[in-house]
Homo-oligomer: A and B are copies of this chain.
Amino acid sequence: MNAAAAGRPVTIREVAERAGVSISTVSHTFSGRRPISAATRARVREAAAELGYDPNPSARSLRTGRSGLVGLILRPRYAVSGTPDRAETFNRLVGAVATEALRHGTGLIHVPDLHDPAVASVPMDGCIVAHPYGGDTALAELLGRGLPVVTVEEDPDRPDLPWAVRLDYPPVVEALLDHLHAQGAREILLLSGTEDNAWNRRPRETYAAWCARRGLRPRTGLLSEGLSMPDAAELVQPLLAGPDRPDAIVVATSDFAALIAEVAAARGLRIPEELMLAALTDSEHARAGHPPITAMDLTHEALAERAVELMLARLSGAETPDGPVFLTPDLRLRASTRRKS
């Protein structure tokens, strides 16, 4: 029984001994960073294989200063405790980042709470911070440590950090509003989430500007991403009750959009004839809703792909880009906003 089978890790020293060479020769055999005679290399490889040698990654990165690992921090606090909408969003982003990292042969670490001292910090060469808040503290912390950071969506208070993949909301949100307007909507209510991130802020800004241009009264409200369905229903009811109810609602999350559709149906309001409905993120709720709900897909896969590329470029010493990469969300018009005319 060799050392590995016994549970004790095999070190470079044992391999060297077995092969009858020095530890530096073993090291160089694997790194290839200096010429080793074929005979020696064969002996070392054989010894390593027999012993089940696997270089200790901590020792290596202590020495080299690099781990070959990229971190991922998903900021939205409701990402983890999830309604299906949030779960789908979270899963798509995490899955896509993981896929992309693996495709490049890079290990990916999901970083646990940065601020919890009970939690060991992780050896990462750089970190992807997804959907940061305005003035994001975790982002600031990492930047303060001098760690290379790439963000998925910008910290809305620091929109110009160049190492970022951003979503270009204005044209898409305008297209959505124009579409609603073209279908006859004149009283459009925007229900944002309460998370202070780009996804909530940018569309709100675009909406305000659009209303001003059109000379329409802006109508906005908040619906926290953390609400339970019953609590959200409670808040939605009165919005549909009064005589001044909106003729279209744009709501941040798609499961609340589906909820609004239900509440509307219960009140006898027909969609899209009496009320149009759209969501600012897409999910199965929207696609399979009754009727299917118009939604903006945030192209998580593309965000992930570009973010990983950006990070790897950065770690290989690429120049700082002139500005963020911009991607365009994908507007998916569905029956909830399509009036037969």
A contact set with B: CB distance below 8 Å? 4-9, 30, 52, 54-62, 67-69, 80, 82, 87, 90-92, 94-96, 98-99, 101-103, 105-113, 116-123, 144-146, 284, 287-288
A108 to B97, CA, bound (A): 13
Q: Are B91 and A58 in contact (CB under 8 A)?
A: no
Closest to A300 in B: B91
A101 and B112 contacting across the interface, CB-CB below 8 Å: yes
Residues from chain B with Cβ under 8 Å of A117 in the complex: 30
A30 CB, nearest partner CB in chain B, Å: 7
Query: In the bound complex, what is the Cα–Cα distance between A54 and B117 (angstroms)?
Result: 10
Query: Contact between A144 and B52 (Cβ–Cβ < 8 Å)?
Result: yes
CA distance A109 to B118 in the complex (A): 19
A99 pairs with B90, CB closer than 8 A:
yes
Knowing A80-B99, A119-B68, A122-B57, the reply to whether A146 touches B7 (Cβ < 8 A) is yes
What residues of B have a CB within 8 angstroms of the CB of A7 in the complex? 146
Q: Which B residues lie within 8 Å of A111 (CB)?
A: 107
Among B90, B120, B288, contact of A287 (Cβ-Cβ < 8 Å) = B288
- Complex alpha-carbon distance, A112 and B116, angstroms: 27
Complex CA gap A102/B240 in Å reads: 39
Say yes or no: B56 contacts A62, CB within 8 Å. yes
Given known A62-B62, A108-B110, A109-B107, contact A4–B144 (CB-CB < 8 A): yes
Q: Does the CB pair A145–B52 fall under 8 Å?
A: yes
Closest-CB distance, A156 to chain B (whole angstroms): 24
Pick the contact of A105 from B96, B103, B112, B287 — CB < 8 Å?
A: B112
Contacts A6-B146, A9-B145 known; 6 new A-B pairs at CB < 8 A: A30-B117, A56-B62, A56-B123, A58-B58, A90-B99, A109-B109
CB distance from A62 to the nearest CB of B (A): 4
Shortest CB–CB separation between residue A286 and chain B, in angstroms?
12
Do B99 and A107 touch (CB < 8 A)? no
14 contacts between A and B (CB under 8 A): A5-B146, A58-B58, A59-B62, A61-B120, A62-B62, A69-B109, A69-B120, A80-B99, A102-B113, A105-B112, A105-B118, A107-B110, A107-B112, A108-B110
